[in-house]
Structure 1
Amino acid sequence: MPVGLYALAVAAFAMGMAEFIVVGILPAIAYDIHIDVPSAGLLVTLYAVGVAISAPVLTAVTSQANRRLLASGLMCLFILSNIIAWLAPSFSVLLISRVLAGVSHGVFFSIASVIASGLVAKEKAGRAISIMFTGLTVALVTGGPVGTMISEAFGWRAAFLGIAVTGVIAMAAMLIWLPKNLKTSGASSFLSQFEVLIKPRLLLVFAITTIGHCGSFVAFTFLSEILQGQTGYSLTSVGLIFVCYGAGVMLGNNYFARLADRRGAITALLWVYVMLSLALLTLGLTASSKVAVIPVIIAWGAFAFGNVPVLQLYVMQQAKKILPHATEAASSMNISAFNIGIAAGAWLGGIVVAKSGIGSVGEVAGIIVSINVILVLISGYLDRRNYANSSVPCDSCQEPS
């Protein structure tokens, strides 16, 4: 695989640290700033809102920019946002810093998925995207425990300083390793960005992306609170459990990307959502047991983020057949869909915690995710029907060779 993929992975790691480290230190932030945990969940929601808004708009504005320089410029904004979070004098300023970090995240992942798939042959696209997203999954392995350890030793602000330093390393890696002649996708207007929203097949994929992450983040946003308040683990132990969760993520990310390359995206997504809904529904039954909850959390991680590279591959496959000139636009909209789901999940999770208690989030999350089993079956049926009499292969529903 080209070394440039690993440069993207380093940057994705930095972005992932910023997005997910807050989950591990949410109780500490809430305690220090004197707000309740559901209100602190806005730090997750507004980050996701920043991603969702920026991805389609700024991808259009920057469509002709040199991809290597654009990625580095986005990392500069990312570094600045985390320095602001480190020094934030109030909760309002901290929220603003999260929106700025989300803006850089949204555009970066919009272009990174397309760049990654373009660096390799078509049959390796799923694995290439998976390598790029490995940075995100490694952040899940290390971000949670590192964040909790830093917070416990030096305070939660130091965690944001550490992310800023990681961003500097990531920016250097991209400047050194990314090719200088990266191709752009051609001129992209605001119309082309939103043209993807009038195509029913693409809208269905965006809906699958949004609903899946909404369901998962109803529970994931409050995972640290579940483990401390309901299961009874210490803050240090929570950090170690995040390692278990992240190990599941790494396994799922790699396995389902390869499954999508071999068997098609629909097969991979069906497995993801059936098993993810079961894992989340089981969470409420096992959260009171320090032993039983661990395998559930590992399974949750494997299925919750195993869909990320698969969905990015799937939406680009659909766009290449429906709107070949708008592949990057479709990718950016799917990044928005990811983060609309995250924002909605964090918001809904806060409501569930406030009204029904922390013990209800797993059940609500599992019910929401189960909707995607039906949507994926519908999408697979449409793929087979649309391409049954076509000379174009159905990449998303291919059988094993």
Structure 2
Amino acid sequence: MDIRVFLLAISAITVGLVELVVGGILPVIAEDLQVSIATAGQLITIFALVYAIAGPVLLSLTAKIERKKLYLVTLSVFFLGNVFTYFSTTFAMMMTARILTAASAALVIVLSLTITARISKPHVRAKALGYIYMGISSSLVLGVPIGIVITNAFGWRTVFLGIAILTIGTLLLISKFFDKIPTGDVQPLREQLKALANKKIVFAHLATMFMLAGHYSVYAYFTPFLETTMNLSSSSISVFYFLFGIAAVAGGAFGGGLATRIGSQKSILIILGAFSISLFVLPYSTFSMPVFIIVMMIWGALSWALAPAQQDYIIQTDPVSSDIHQSFNNSALQVGIALGSGVGGIAFSHTGSVTSMPAVGGFIVIIAFVCAAISLSMAVHKKKKNNTAAQHVSERTH
């Protein structure tokens, strides 16, 4: 594997840390900035919203800028955003810093994906994308416990100072090991937006959104689920989160490897089907600790296994507009996280039982499976239509 792919994965880890790390240290931030925890929670919401919108918009606006230069400039803005966060003394300053880091993080991630797709050979592209998603998933699932440990030892501001320092290291590595990366064929913004009319891609984005929505309808409430079903203490729960995180990190690499071996289209359906089953089985595995850990880690691995195959499928389906579609798929992921958390909260308030959450998530993932199947069936139909047309041309020629 090209060493540059691993450097981009490291960059993805660095910028990914800043999103959910706030969740684990929210009470400390709220107390320091003298706001309620509910108000401080808006720091997560605003990040997700800006991230979802900024990715595709900034990618379009910067389409003519050489990729390495753009990457380094964006990382520099991300660095400044974290420094601003470190020095924030009011909630308004903190919100401004979150907007800055969200927009720059979104562009860094989508550039990491598009550059990886461009520098990787087609037969290992899905696997290479898997490493990027392994970086993203590791930052999202492991950032929370790491942030808590650092906050308890040195204070919450040190978390963002540490991310800023990591960003400097990433800047130096990218600057040293990457040559100039041309923009490639640049489409006007109007044409890129027209690409969103591609129904196959739209259903692929919906599959990503509903898959993450199903996942986060359970994962967002995993702590009360563990407390209720397994009677775990807070220290034991942190161990389970760590195990889940390891599985999720491995899942990105597993999904990329599977897509490389059997193809992206088959992988998408297999992963979504298995993921739905794992959610339905989860509450029935709590009778035994070892069984539950196995099911939980399968669930964790599958939660990030779809992304590499999905990205590779999008590139194959519409290579000309693949950059903008990868950006929108990443935005769909963020919308799915927000949607899942909301749906999970509504379901919990109506049922009053956390044991019902996995079934809710499982049904949402079934919707994702249907969306993926529709997208794939359209792709197969178009391929058959093109083959038929080519056959008719051949017959007329002879």
Return the TM-score normalized by structure 2: 0.85
Q: Equivalent residue for 1:204?
A: 203
Q: Displacement of 1:273 after TM fit?
A: 1.5
CA contact (8 A) 1:214 1:342 kept: yes
Q: Equivalent residue for 1:17?
A: 17
Q: Select between 132-141 and 220-229 the one with higher mean Cα deviation.
A: 220-229
Q: Equivalent residue for 1:170?
A: 170
Matched, 1:110 2:110: yes
Q: Equivalent residue for 2:360?
A: 364
The 1:196/1:120 distance shift into structure 2, 3 A limit, reads same
Provide the rounded CA distance (Å) in 2 between the counterparts of 1:332 and 1:249: 21
Q: Equivalent residue for 2:154?
A: 154
CA contact (8 A) 2:255 2:304 kept: no
Q: Equivalent residue for 1:261?
A: 260
Q: Displacement of 1:51 after TM fit?
A: 1.5
Provide the rounded CA distance (Å) in 2 between the counterparts of 1:164 and 1:205: 34
Aligned counterparts, 1:321-360, within 5 A: 324=320, 326-353=321-348, 356-357=351-352, 359=354, 360=356
Q: Displacement of 1:115 after TM fit?
A: 1.1
The 1:25/1:357 distance shift into structure 2, 3 A limit, reads farther
Describe the SS at the equivalent of 2:318.
helix
Describe the SS at the equivalent of 1:134.
helix
* Gapped regions of structure 2 (runs ≥ 5): 389-398
The 1:287/1:89 distance shift into structure 2, 3 A limit, reads farther
Provide the rounded CA distance (Å) in 2 between the counterparts of 1:27 and 1:229: 23
What whole-Å deviation, never above 9, does each CA across 1:348-385 have from its counterpart, x for those lacking one? Answer: 34444555557154333222112112222222322222
CA contact (8 A) 1:284 1:362 kept: yes
CA contact (8 A) 2:203 2:374 kept: no
Q: Displacement of 1:241 after TM fit?
A: 2.5
Q: Select between 162-171 and 358-367 the one with higher mean Cα deviation.
A: 358-367
CA contact (8 A) 2:35 2:91 kept: no
Q: Displacement of 1:182 after TM fit?
A: 0.8
Provide the rounded CA distance (Å) in 1 between the counterparts of 2:193 and 2:172: 33
Matched, 1:45 2:6: no
The 1:201/1:79 distance shift into structure 2, 3 A limit, reads same
2:384 is aligned with what amino acid?
A: A
Return the TM-score normalized by structure 1: 0.85
The 1:11/1:224 distance shift into structure 2, 3 A limit, reads farther
The 1:354/1:176 distance shift into structure 2, 3 A limit, reads farther
Aligned counterparts, 1:386-401, within 5 A: 386-388=382-384, 390=386
1:252 is aligned with what amino acid?
A: G
Q: Displacement of 1:124 after TM fit?
A: 1.2
Q: Displacement of 1:106 after TM fit?
A: 1.8
CA contact (8 A) 2:252 2:307 kept: yes
Provide the rounded CA distance (Å) in 2 between the counterparts of 1:276 and 1:92: 40
Q: 1:377 aligns with which of 373, 382, 387?
A: 373
1:266 is aligned with what amino acid?
A: Q
What whole-Å deviation, never above 9, does each CA across 1:200-224 have from its counterpart, x for those lacking one? Answer: 1111111111111122223333445
The 1:223/1:100 distance shift into structure 2, 3 A limit, reads farther
What whole-Å deviation, never above 9, does each CA across 1:6-34 have from its counterpart, x for those lacking one? Answer: 22111101122122433444565567766
Q: What is the alpha-carbon root mean square deviation over aligned residues? A: 3.0
The 1:114/1:217 distance shift into structure 2, 3 A limit, reads same
The 1:66/1:251 distance shift into structure 2, 3 A limit, reads same
* Gapped regions of structure 1 (runs ≥ 5): 393-401
What whole-Å deviation, never above 9, does each CA across 1:161-181 have from its counterpart, x for those lacking one? Answer: 3222222222222112222x2
Matched, 1:139 2:139: yes
Q: Displacement of 1:226 after TM fit?
A: 4.7
Q: Displacement of 1:87 after TM fit?
A: 3.8
Larger Rg: 1 or 2?
2
Matched, 1:317 2:312: no
Provide the rounded CA distance (Å) in 1 between the counterparts of 2:296 and 2:98: 27
What whole-Å deviation, never above 9, does each CA across 1:80-102 have from its counterpart, x for those lacking one? Answer: 22333334434454344333222
Q: Displacement of 1:120 after TM fit?
A: 2.2
Describe the SS at the equivalent of 2:186.
coil
CA contact (8 A) 2:264 2:310 kept: yes
1:381 is aligned with what amino acid?
A: S
Q: Percent identity?
A: 26
Provide the rounded CA distance (Å) in 1 between the counterparts of 2:20 and 2:86: 16
CA contact (8 A) 2:259 2:308 kept: no
The 1:164/1:347 distance shift into structure 2, 3 A limit, reads farther
